[in-house]
Amino acid sequence: MNNFIFQNATKVYFGKGCVKEYLTCLTNDAKTILLAYGGGSIKKNGVYDEITGILKEAGKTIVEFPGIMSNPTYAKVQEGAKLARENNADMILAVGGGSAMDCCKAVSLAARYNGDIWDDFWARPGVIDFEPLPLGVVVTVAGTGSECNGGAVITNEEKKVKTGRDYPALNPRFALMDPTYTFSVPMRQMISGSFDILSHIMETYFSEPNEDNVSDDIMEALMKSVIRNLRVAIKNPEDYTARSNLMWDATMAENRIIKMGKKCDFECHNMEHQLGAYTNCNHGCGLAVLHPVYYRHIYKEGLPKFVRFAENVWGIARDGKTDEELALAGIEALAAFIKEIRLPITLKELGADKAQLKEIADSCGISQGSYKPMTHEEILAIFQECYE
């Protein structure tokens, strides 16, 4: 394994009833709380009433920051920071998925920073040498794993750039994770969020080093868990065991544990983020379209790992197959799974404009962790191949 230092500053409270049990003591130090959420799902499923009830009973002043959109924008971050400042909020509570959590990580920084956080922290990596506004999160949908890392993906609409940065100083102080909160997530979002989990694991698994290491073993177990539990949750969305496994799979995929000692690829994420910047497509759906095509493009460079993926994740027997045939069979099993769970398989379905593919391809970041670092021409070829 490569050398590493590991710390995760987020304290997790997991399980049915955790919000009721712990929210009061976790917000003890705060008088004024910026309560941030998305488009209103929490008002329909009772989560808003539960949380505001607890905060009001504890005598908190609540400042509402609603309307955080999927693929949160820099303009929305600025709106939240202004609210936090004007109301002297001393804590942010983000309730939702990756969008609410990511937006609020950036708000926690912007609320305590006088310059332009896009220029100084997202356009290029910056140094956080001050204390951001404390952030706690209540997770309502499994997927990004944003609850246990310092990553925040923000879209700058003006510049047509969607980019993520990871600052450990932005790790939420606490994450409350009640799997029953995810029961109301629409089927399509549950599936695309689960594919995002799988993608995070694959983007880490398919990278060097390839020799026997514990991270790869953990990842095979996690991939099998996502596949198995998603199938159960599709049949019965209120299966607590399946929903709790998916919720923890999501955290495990992005709490940095599996990345230890690994290079990590994330080229599919680079491509998807720019597709998202141009089309505002759903993150997991964009990833589902790209993964099989990208892997057919790079598998020869990472052959032993693709063979392992076929055998250990999909249980495909060798039966006289060559390494190449086995590797391709694993990629085809992934493609078949994407069809089985009914995610999109073309960029056209995501609303991408064929005439813009070159511009989008040229704007994508190039990962140096890939088995085969892409050129912009190769990215365009991948986009064209999965267009329709």
Contact set with Zn ion (CB under 5 A): 196
- Buried/exposed code over 248-274 (b: 16+ C-beta within 10 A; e: otherwise): bbbbbbbbbbbbbbbbbbbbbbbbbbb
Residue type present at position 112: R
Cβ neighbour number for residue 352 with a 10 Å cutoff: 22
Give the one entry of ligand NZQ, Zn ion, none that residue 145 binds, where binding means its C-beta sits below a cut-off of 5 to 8 angstroms depending on kind: ligand NZQ
Strand pairing class (174-177; 161-166): unpaired
Give the one entry of Zn ion, ligand NZQ, none that residue 70 binds, where binding means its C-beta sits below a cut-off of 5 to 8 angstroms depending on kind: ligand NZQ
Give the one entry of Zn ion, ligand NZQ, none that residue 146 binds, where binding means its C-beta sits below a cut-off of 5 to 8 angstroms depending on kind: ligand NZQ
Give the one entry of ligand NZQ, Zn ion, none that residue 151 binds, where binding means its C-beta sits below a cut-off of 5 to 8 angstroms depending on kind: ligand NZQ
Contact 51, 79 (CB under 8 A): no
- Of the pair 327, 347, the CB lying nearest ligand NZQ is at 347
Residue numbers at the binding site for ligand NZQ (CB under 6 A): 38-42, 45, 70-71, 96-100, 102, 140-141, 143-146, 149, 151-153, 164, 181-182, 184-186, 189, 193, 196, 254, 269, 283
**C-alpha–C-alpha distance, residues 76 and 158, integer Å:** 13
* Least distance (Å) between residue 225 CB and ligand NZQ: 18
* Least distance (Å) between residue 387 CB and ligand NZQ: 21
The candidate with the shortest Cα–Cα distance to 228, out of 314, 119, 103, 351, is 314
Q: Which residue's C-beta sits nearest to ligand NZQ? A: 38
Give the one entry of ligand NZQ, Zn ion, none that residue 60 binds, where binding means its C-beta sits below a cut-off of 5 to 8 angstroms depending on kind: none
- Of the pair 27, 163, the CB lying nearest ligand NZQ is at 163
**C-alpha–C-alpha distance, residues 151 and 165, integer Å:** 5
- Of the pair 98, 330, the CB lying nearest Zn ion is at 98
- Of the pair 262, 269, the CB lying nearest ligand NZQ is at 269
The candidate with the shortest Cα–Cα distance to 199, out of 98, 303, 326, is 98
Q: Which residue's C-beta sits nearest to Zn ion? A: 196
- Of the pair 69, 381, the CB lying nearest ligand NZQ is at 69
Cβ neighbour number for residue 36 with a 10 Å cutoff: 28
Give the one entry of Zn ion, ligand NZQ, none that residue 96 binds, where binding means its C-beta sits below a cut-off of 5 to 8 angstroms depending on kind: ligand NZQ
The dihedrals phi and psi of 2, each to the nearest 5 degrees, come to: -75, 160
Question: Which helix H or strand E contains 164, and what residues bound it?
Answer: strand 161-166
- Of the pair 52, 210, the CB lying nearest ligand NZQ is at 52
Residue 311 burial (10 A CB sphere; 0-12, 13-18, 19+): middle
The candidate with the shortest Cα–Cα distance to 229, out of 204, 199, 178, 194, is 194
- Of the pair 141, 201, the CB lying nearest ligand NZQ is at 141
* Least distance (Å) between residue 192 CB and ligand NZQ: 7
* Least distance (Å) between residue 57 CB and ligand NZQ: 23
